[in-house]
Amino acid sequence: MVSIVDTNIITLKQVQLATVHTIKRHSVVNGRGMRSQVLSLKSSFDLNKQTMRFQSKMARNEADREDLMQEAVSLVRRIEFQSELFSEPLMAGFNSQGWLFVYLGNDLMYRFDEQGRLRRSFVDGRLYRTQGQTLAVMVRERVFKSGDPIESNLMRQDLSDEQLETFRLQMHANLVLVTECLRAGVVTRQHPAEMSGIADEVEGRIQQVLNSKEFLAPAIVRR
């Protein structure tokens, strides 16, 4: 069993202090007031290229980055938007089942069911999958011989209660930022191009996630 190395630069206490304060007020503060609160959260998290894990890896060349908007053909309604808070475009959309997908660049993704419960997430090269009561982190471990991969194993470990709470609070903080970016950012592309209201639908569903009493979807049954 592979051990989990904590990749969060922000401590649990910092996430709790910043996130609880913002989420407590995000449902009643809007417009300019909402922006000031989110930018305050940005400052608390030291949101810059050097410290935030969900920022794009700057070593990548522009040509190497995946075009999420073009590749996400399973999302029947999707929107791409940009914000000064992120160096890469953000994208969100819905598949034919009505599940919400949120991408913060290429290195962070959340997938929610129609009731706003988390099913899967991809964070910093790691896949997280709901187990109903917790999340399992899946890490691919490769065995090399003479510099060449000879074996690849997918290792799993369930998050502890503290790790799960850290994940949840960080996810909420990220989604609050996405909501603000969606309101203040610039829509660059959408599909279908002629459809109106996709941005409002995404924002509404993110609010559903933030207000949901259930964090995790039921365990995914492997076929």
Q: Where are the domains of the chain?
A: 12-57+71-132+160-211
Q: Which of 57, 75, 73 is nearest to 65 (CA)?
A: 57
Q: What is the pLDDT of residues 122-154, one digit of tens each?
A: 998 889 999 999 999 988 777 887 778 778 787
Q: What percent of the chain has pLDDT over 70?
A: 70
- Is pLDDT larger for residue 96 or for residue 124? 96
Q: How do residues 27-56 score in pLDDT, each as one tens digit?
A: 334 443 434 333 333 333 333 333 334 333
Over range 95-104, report the average pLDDT: 96
Per the listing, tokens 């922000």 go with: 10
Contact 118, 110 (CB under 8 A): yes
Structure tokens at 190: 């959408």
Give DSSP secondary structure letters for 25-64: HHTT--HHHHHHHHHHHHHHTT-STTT-TTS--TTS-GGG
Split at pLDDT 50, 70, 90, the class of 169 is very high
pTM reported for the whole predicted model? 0.70
Give the start-end residues of each E strand in the chain.
75-82, 90-95, 100-104, 108-112, 118-123, 126-130, 135-145, 148-158, 186-191
Q: How does pLDDT run across 67-91, given as a tens digit for each residue?
A: 888 899 999 999 999 988 888 899 9
